[in-house]
Amino acid sequence: MENFKKSTIYQIYPKSFCDSNGDGIGDIPGIISKLDYIKSLGVDYIWSTPFFTSPLKDNGYDVADYREINPIFGTMGDVEELIAEAGKRGIGLMLDMVFNHTSTQHKWFQKALGGDREYLDYYIFRDGAEGAPPTNWQSKFGGSAWEYVPGLGKWYLHLFDRTQADLNWENPKVREELRDVLRFWKNKGVKGFRFDVVNLISKPGLFEDDMQGDGRRFYTDGPRVHEFLKELVRDSGIAPMVTVGEMSSTSLENCVRYSNPAERELSMCFHFHHLKVDYRDGEKWELMPPDYGKLKRHFEEWQTGMQQQGGWSALFWCNHDQPRAVSRFGDDKAYWKESAKMLATSIHMMRGTPYIYQGEELGMANPAYKEISDYRDVESINYYGIMQKAGKTQEEALETLRQRSRDNGRTPMQWDAGEYAGFSASRPWLAIPENHAYINAEAEEQDADSVLAYYRKLVALRKEYPVIQEGAIEFLYREVPGLLAYQRLLGEERLLALNNLTGEPVRLPEPIGCRGFQRLIGNYGEPGELIGELRAYESIVLWKP
Ligand code: TEU
Ligand code: CA
């Protein structure tokens, strides 16, 4: 069995993890200083979001040099030490490869801007007149996906910010350059890779207007994406390493192909359908309470579909682009602890590889910022303007950010109850939520019933029970609203996971007899002989040998 099926992966957003030198920005020495804490979680890998040279317009997802470290985060020596020190603790480092685009400050783009034909072909430039972009495609961060360069009389494509120019994967030289980046990091001792929006790399042969949407249907899971991925993995020599692709607006069929071992593409996929169940009409900037029925159906469809066709999923609620799950799907007030634990249980017992995003293991919640000046994210700031132009009031736009901004997930890690949460000796780059008074690592270390203690137990259970690693999954009580229930089966072994997604009790159609079962974990006390209903956000995991 592949090692990653037993593993749990911890995601670090370096800017917000731990600041070693008091400049208010997290850094690599800060990560090194917390390796014992990470080890204590029982995780096998750290995935760090980018710390390469970058103007940080999109916090490092705008890479200006794939082989250099941004001095704000540290030095190459620090990264080498991180790899070595993590390795001593049995933890592998996975790096984040942003290969769909580079920063416009990358030397390739700068040469292209200078008119160098070789480098113009590294990007997607199209001749045209000012005011008439080649297509009507929209950037994912708002506005046109094309930017005009008057000096060249050309437009370039940027699916994200205008400072993030899309690479031309049709050019074999580009593909070789990127493989060489992978070899460089492999030689440094890195143990795996996450590939940013990697299902967007293959653009169509012909660029045309999209009369139905923002253009994504033309380049999402594009024509040559599987061929490109196979080549990338095979010819860079990274094949045995763990790899995960971030798949934007993808399909189940494509995720099967990306992650089925027979295809020799990636180990697993991030897919996001379960994180759109609170988007009204599929629109991130339109608020709606989560539709738990839809959430259940997505899990059922993707878990069983990936299983039947031999795909493998990354299991996650949180990352640096998402609001905190406990605020979004749980109740970060009355049932803070219970709902944080339930959300964790609901995915950690599934088939796939769980990811814990820094602070999630503490139950970190959205910061509820009051002012637009509290926000830093380029997407949030763009949409704050766009929403108001579209007719929202300032207060409505702010409330939308309070619930949807990517900064919700980027607040500094809450290490203790001190003024700067033990994150830094001075004011951090992004404000610390008031709740750090009680949501923090130091307090939770003292509490045997903490969210932190619960996550440690979940990680340990996956290591101990093969049924969690490789058991078949089958969904139960599909007709009961609010109840996410499934079993995992391996030989005679049976594991039953019951999760109440809601703040109201849910009744089971008939009571479950617990005799013969052992309770592995749960967020309320030991159940009685019979389980007739689950309390608010209750989770119970039962196991039978
Ligand atoms: O994210 C891709 C992505 O699809 C999200 O940013 C999404 O567009 C956004 O949440 C829309 O609401 C990856 C990285 O994780 C993200 O941080 C980068 O900004 C983005 O790619 C560009 O590299
Ligand atoms: Ca620092």
Confidence label for 528 from pLDDT (cuts 50, 70 and 90)? confident
Q: Which residue has the tokens 């509490």?
A: 447
SS3 assignment, position 166: strand
- The predicted pLDDT at position 216 comes to 97
> Nearest residue CA, atom 10 of ligand 1?
321
**Which one of the ligands is nearest to 250 CA?**
1
Mean pLDDT of all residues in 447-475: 98
For residue 58 and ligand 1, the question of a CB distance below 6 A is answered with yes
- Residue 1 in this model has a pLDDT that exceeds 80: no
Distance 249 CA to ligand 1 centre (A): 11
For residues 409 and 319, is the Cβ–Cβ distance under 8 A?
Answer: yes
Q: Rounded to an integer, what distance in angstroms lies between the CA atom of residue 456 and that of residue 388?
A: 43
Mean pLDDT of all residues in 21-34: 98
> Nearest residue CA, atom 5 of ligand 1?
321
Three-class HEC string of 273-320: HHHHCCEHHHCCCCECCCCHHHHHHHHHHHHHHHHHCCCCEEECCCCC
For residue range 92-123, what is the model confidence (pLDDT) as tens digits?
999 999 999 999 999 999 999 999 999 999 99
Which residues belong to CATH 2.60.40.1180 in the chain? 472-544
**Bridge pairing between strands 125-127 and 154-157:** antiparallel
Which residues on neighbouring strands pair with residue 279, listed in sequence order? 287
**282 backbone dihedrals φ, ψ, rounded to 5°:** 75, 10
- Residue 143 in this model has a pLDDT that exceeds 80: yes
Range with the poorest average pLDDT among 1-5, 268-272, 280-284, 321-325: 1-5
Q: Under CATH, which architecture does the 472-544 domain have?
A: Sandwich (2.60)
- The predicted pLDDT at position 409 comes to 98
For residue 63 and ligand 1, the question of a CB distance below 6 A is answered with no
Confidence label for 414 from pLDDT (cuts 50, 70 and 90)? very high
- If we measure between CA atoms, which residue out of 20, 8, 7, 96 comes closest to residue 413? 20
SS3 assignment, position 111: helix
Distance 11 CA to ligand 2 centre (A): 18
Mutational test site, ligand 1, from 96, 141, 164, 196, max ligand atoms within 8 Å of CB: 196
State percent of the chain over pLDDT 90.
98
Mean pLDDT of all residues in 421-438: 97
Mean pLDDT of all residues in 406-419: 98
In the annotation, is 361 catalytic? no
For residues 323 and 366, is the Cβ–Cβ distance under 8 A?
Answer: yes
SS3 assignment, position 472: strand
Q: Rounded to an integer, what distance in angstroms lies between the CA atom of residue 8 and that of residue 523?
A: 20
Which residues belong to CATH 3.90.400.10 in the chain? 107-166
Distance 21 CA to ligand 2 centre (A): 5
DSSP 8-state secondary structure symbol assigned to residue 222: -
Q: Which residue has the tokens 């000096």?
A: 151
> Nearest residue CA, atom 12 of ligand 1?
284
Structure tokens at 202: 């293959």
> Nearest residue CA, atom 2 of ligand 1?
197
Relative to the CA of 321, which ligand 1 atom is closest?
10
- The predicted pLDDT at position 357 comes to 99
Mean pLDDT of all residues in 519-523: 97
For residue 147 and ligand 1, the question of a CB distance below 6 A is answered with no
**Bridge pairing between strands 45-48 and 9-12:** parallel
SS3 assignment, position 248: coil
Structure tokens at 228: 């490109």
Structure tokens at 201: 């790399």
- The predicted pLDDT at position 266 comes to 98
For residue 12 and ligand 1, the question of a CB distance below 6 A is answered with no
Q: Which residues contact 71 (CB under 8 A, 6 or more apart)?
A: none
For residue range 297-347, what is the model confidence (pLDDT) as tens digits?
999 999 999 999 999 999 999 999 999 999 999 999 999 999 999 999 999
Distance 40 CA to ligand 1 centre (A): 30
DSSP annotation string for 372-418: GGG---HHHHHHHHHHHHTT--HHHHHHHHHHH-GGGGTSPP--SSS
CA 209 to chain centre: 30
**Which one of the ligands is nearest to 166 CA?**
1
- Predicted TM-score (pTM) above 0.85: yes
Distance 468 CA to ligand 1 centre (A): 30
**Average pLDDT of every residue of the chain:** 97
Catalytic residue among 58, 196, 377, 407: 196
Say how many CA atoms lie within 13 Å of 102 toward its Cβ.
26
Q: Give me Rg for the CA atoms of the chain.
A: 23
CA distance from start to end of the chain = 21
Mean pLDDT of all residues in 398-411: 98
- Residue 2 in this model has a pLDDT that exceeds 80: no
Catalytic residue among 19, 62, 78, 246: 246
For residue 160 and ligand 1, the question of a CB distance below 6 A is answered with yes
CA 497 to chain centre: 24
- The predicted pLDDT at position 33 comes to 98
Relative to the CA of 248, which ligand 1 atom is closest?
4
Mean pLDDT of all residues in 255-275: 98
Relative to the CA of 406, which ligand 1 atom is closest?
10
Distance 73 CA to ligand 2 centre (A): 6
**Which one of the ligands is nearest to 320 CA?**
1
For residues 157 and 145, is the Cβ–Cβ distance under 8 A?
Answer: yes
- The predicted pLDDT at position 316 comes to 98
Mutational test site, ligand 1, from 61, 97, 162, max ligand atoms within 8 Å of CB: 61
For residue range 188-202, what is the model confidence (pLDDT) as tens digits?
999 999 999 999 999
> Nearest residue CA, atom 9 of ligand 1?
321
Distance 321 CA to ligand 1 centre (A): 6
In the annotation, is 246 catalytic? yes
Q: According to CATH, what is the number of the domain 107-166?
A: 3.90.400.10
- The predicted pLDDT at position 527 comes to 83
> Nearest residue CA, atom 22 of ligand 1?
61
For residue 61 and ligand 1, the question of a CB distance below 6 A is answered with yes
For residue 285 and ligand 1, the question of a CB distance below 6 A is answered with no
Residue 135 buriedness (CB in 10 A; 0-12 / 13-18 / 19+): middle
Distance 535 CA to ligand 1 centre (A): 36
